[in-house]
Chain A
Amino acid sequence: MMLKPNWFLILLILLLALLPLSESRFYIFLGTDILIMGLFAVSLNLLLGYTGLVSFGQAAYFGIGAYTCALLMKKAAVVFPVAFVAAAFMGMIGALIIGFFCIRLTKIYFSMLTLAFSQIVWAIVFKWNSLTGGDTGLIGINFPKYLDSSTRFYYFTLAVVVISFYFLRKVVDSPFGRILATIRENPERTEFIGINVKRFQLIAFMVSGFFAGISGALFGIFNHSLFPDLLYWPMSAEVLIMSILGGMYSFFGPVVGAAVILYLRMLVTSYTQYWPLIMGTILALLLFFFPGGIVGFLKSQRPFAGGKR
């Protein structure tokens, strides 16, 4: 399928590439954070918005990716590129195992099982002191030599995230992606037209886990340290909120959600420690007044802008 060049996107990527010229550590830091969490949120949204699976355990694959990359580098002295790719594949394998059981269930039971599995992963990381450091965390994860500055790491993250988005966009615009949307709208009827719904859902899980693993690996290096909290259920809730706040029925909606939340958090936490209160209020207001999320709202303001998801 030929995609029209999207000038807005190209301009945006150019702007992002020029961001380090601002020489503002604040914006480079925020930019890296948004890119990483944006990728994480989009990986969730492949399940949530595109396939209609309300996964409440996305933090598991994020955490698996983060710990895989960090542990391989720190404990096994594996070089960064190998550790990084391994993290993505471990995220995918984690999603394959967890997804295998979860896709058998629907609705609230599905969400509960994803929650249970991610809590199992969290509990293992939390209690396996000798490997993960448990509650004290894994500290001193260094940038690989050639990425040893926040600007270089920013460019690396930007490249990885742009390539990931390109690939994910191809996936959702492909016939495979269309089938996922069909499953979201009506799993029973999709089954009737001869599509193996469970197999497609499982593949969606694996793709989702793969990219969640990548974002987790980036996150660990970005922060120089990892803590089990990364896998605890409020993390899954936070990324779910990012997706829904931004708009789960658009591809870049979750990125917008991540950007808004992370920017606001930076802003708010410099004035007050009560960020959750603000976040909860925003979330509640959004649910009552903008059910389609930010992107959904903007789209509804431009009725002739075309219905491309």
Chain B
Amino acid sequence: MNLPDPSFLIIQSLSGLTYAMFLFLIASGLSLIFGILRVLNFAHGSLYMVGAYLTYSFVSLFINAPGQFWWAVISASLAVALIGGFIERFFLSRLYIREELSQLLFTYALVLIIGDFAKVIWGTGQLSISRPPILKGAVQIFGQYFPEYNIFIILLGLGIAFLFWLILNRTRWGRVIRAAALDREMLGSLGINVSWLFTLVFIIGAWLAGLGGALVAPIAAIVPGMDVEIIINVFIVVVIGGLGSFWGTLLGALVLGQVISFGILILPRLAIVFIYVLMAVVLIIRPWGLLGKPLQR
């Protein structure tokens, strides 16, 4: 067996890293919502999909504006955040008193509803948009070309991870959010409006999913079904890293990104089996994930 070209390996791992950043954006939102609200949001992939579709629509809306892509990304992700806030405030919040299964099923109902709404609005065909002009090129890495846009995604993903960590650990709001994960009743009696805090957390989580979808739009096919496909990978990420754990989510995304990137290369037929085996093995050995903590309740 001859060893593959090292430059090829680097490019391959960089593609894995790009995918990992998308996984991280979506999974961190899912994990944040689970950590605070204790709801596993099945519809998180749907919010991601809506982010991608809205970016498509906004790009054609802002056709003559300078920096149309960036405006589209900002508007689409904020619109998704708004949709998330609406869902939490008017529907999900009414189900907190019920058993967890009701909440899970409600988010699954949303998957069905949002998926079909997207088909009604955008059709069933495959849509695509082009990369922003400023990032159209490719850079040479050890003789191989790698798209500038992907490098931007990697840097942005790491930037958001850092910012996210900074907010959670170094600001008052971050402290409040971390406290909500530990003891929401106590937080309520300390004068924090927990009900609005939950809405805020859902909005942030939805925004992250929408941002992921908006940023993936230029490099992936925007099709119905991208919601169901991503959510299962995001579940794997949070399971590997640990539901509700920030660093765990990052680790899980990095691991899955590389496994998918190289697995498809080395064992194309077994790769897809392997990622689920990985998920099962982590659950059996450490149900709360590599960096997570066991659930208290």
- A interface vs B, CB < 8 Å? 54, 101, 104-105, 107-109, 112-113, 115-117, 119-120, 123-124, 126-127, 233-234, 237, 240-241, 244, 274, 276-277, 279-281, 283-284, 287-288, 291
Contacts of A240 in B (CB 8 A): 105
User: Assuming A112-B239, A119-B276, A287-B105, is B120 touching A280 (CB within 8 A)?
Assistant: no
User: Once the chains are docked, how many angstroms separate the CA of A287 from the CA of B109?
Assistant: 10
The answer to whether B235 and A237 have CB atoms under 8 Å apart is no
User: Once the chains are docked, how many angstroms separate the CA of A126 from the CA of B268?
Assistant: 12
17 further contact pairs, Cβ within 8 A, besides A108-B295, A119-B276, A280-B111: A54-B101, A107-B295, A108-B40, A112-B235, A112-B239, A116-B236, A116-B283, A123-B273, A127-B273, A237-B108, A274-B119, A283-B105, A283-B112, A284-B113, A287-B95, A287-B98, A291-B98
Contact of B235 among A115, A241, A279 (CB under 8 A): A115
User: Once the chains are docked, how many angstroms separate the CA of A117 from the CA of B284?
Assistant: 11
User: For the complex, is B20 an interface residue (Cβ under 8 Å from A)?
Assistant: no
User: Assuming A274-B119, A277-B117, is B106 touching A120 (CB within 8 A)?
Assistant: no
Chain B: CB-nearest residue to A288? B94
Task: Return B89 CB to nearest CB of chain A, in Å.
Answer: 15
User: For the complex, is B102 an interface residue (Cβ under 8 Å from A)?
Assistant: yes
User: Once the chains are docked, how many angstroms separate the CA of A111 from the CA of B277?
Assistant: 15
- List B114-173 residues whose CB lies under 8 Å from chain A: 115-117, 119-120
A-B contacts counted at CB < 8 A amount to: 99
Contact of A126 among B94, B115, B116, B272 (CB under 8 A): B272
Contacts of A112 in B (CB 8 A): 235, 239, 279, 283
User: Assuming A276-B112, A280-B116, is B276 touching A120 (CB within 8 A)?
Assistant: yes
Contacts of B117 in A (CB 8 A): 277
**What mask results when residues 269 to 281 of chain B are scored 1 for a CB within 8 Å of chain A, else 0?**
1101100110110
Contacts of A234 in B (CB 8 A): 228
The answer to whether B91 and A284 have CB atoms under 8 Å apart is yes
User: Assuming A104-B284, A119-B276, A127-B273, is B108 touching A277 (CB within 8 A)?
Assistant: no
Task: Return B33 CB to nearest CB of chain A, in Å.
Answer: 13
User: Once the chains are docked, how many angstroms separate the CA of A234 from the CA of B46?
Assistant: 14
Closest 4 CB pairs of A and B: A280-B112, A277-B116, A280-B113, A109-B287
User: Once the chains are docked, how many angstroms separate the CA of A283 from the CA of B111?
Assistant: 11
User: For the complex, is B243 an interface residue (Cβ under 8 Å from A)?
Assistant: yes
User: For the complex, is B288 an interface residue (Cβ under 8 Å from A)?
Assistant: yes
Contact of B109 among A54, A104, A105, A284 (CB under 8 A): A284
Q: List 5 A-B contacts (CB under 8 A).
A: A108-B100, A109-B283, A112-B239, A116-B279, A276-B113
Chain B: CB-nearest residue to A126? B272
Contacts of B236 in A (CB 8 A): 116
User: Once the chains are docked, how many angstroms separate the CA of A284 from the CA of B119?
Assistant: 19
Contact of A283 among B98, B108, B276 (CB under 8 A): B108
Contacts of A119 in B (CB 8 A): 232, 276, 279
Task: Return B172 CB to nearest CB of chain A, in Å.
Answer: 30
The answer to whether B277 and A120 have CB atoms under 8 Å apart is yes
* Residue among B109, B115, B120, B232 having the largest count of chain A Cβ atoms under 10 Å: B109
The answer to whether A113 and B280 have CB atoms under 8 Å apart is yes
Task: Return B186 CB to nearest CB of chain A, in Å.
Answer: 22
Contacts of A124 in B (CB 8 A): 273
Task: Return A48 CB to nearest CB of chain B, in Å.
Answer: 9
Task: Return A236 CB to nearest CB of chain B, in Å.
Answer: 11
Contacts of A123 in B (CB 8 A): 272-273, 276
User: Once the chains are docked, how many angstroms separate the CA of A291 from the CA of B95?
Assistant: 10
The answer to whether A274 and B106 have CB atoms under 8 Å apart is no
User: Once the chains are docked, how many angstroms separate the CA of A76 from the CA of B278?
Assistant: 33
Contacts of A241 in B (CB 8 A): 105, 108
Contacts of A117 in B (CB 8 A): 276, 280
User: For the complex, is B82 an interface residue (Cβ under 8 Å from A)?
Assistant: no
User: Once the chains are docked, how many angstroms separate the CA of A244 from the CA of B109?
Assistant: 13
User: Assuming A119-B232, A234-B228, is B115 touching A276 (CB within 8 A)?
Assistant: yes
Chain A: CB-nearest residue to B274? A123
The answer to whether B101 and A116 have CB atoms under 8 Å apart is no
User: Once the chains are docked, how many angstroms separate the CA of A10 from the CA of B100?
Assistant: 37
User: For the complex, is B110 an interface residue (Cβ under 8 Å from A)?
Assistant: yes
User: Once the chains are docked, how many angstroms separate the CA of A116 from the CA of B91?
Assistant: 29
Contacts of B119 in A (CB 8 A): 274
Chain B: CB-nearest residue to A276? B112
- List B48-64 residues whose CB lies under 8 Å from chain A: none
User: Once the chains are docked, how many angstroms separate the CA of A176 from the CA of B215?
Assistant: 54
Contacts of A274 in B (CB 8 A): 116, 119-120
Chain B: CB-nearest residue to A105? B287
User: Once the chains are docked, how many angstroms separate the CA of A26 from the CA of B115?
Assistant: 29
Task: Return A37 CB to nearest CB of chain B, in Å.
Answer: 18
The answer to whether B272 and A287 have CB atoms under 8 Å apart is no
Task: Return A10 CB to nearest CB of chain B, in Å.
Answer: 34
**What mask results when residues 10 to 36 of chain B are scored 1 for a CB within 8 Å of chain A, else 0?**
000000000000000000000000000
User: Once the chains are docked, how many angstroms separate the CA of A291 from the CA of B235?
Assistant: 27
The answer to whether B102 and A287 have CB atoms under 8 Å apart is yes
The answer to whether B288 and A120 have CB atoms under 8 Å apart is no
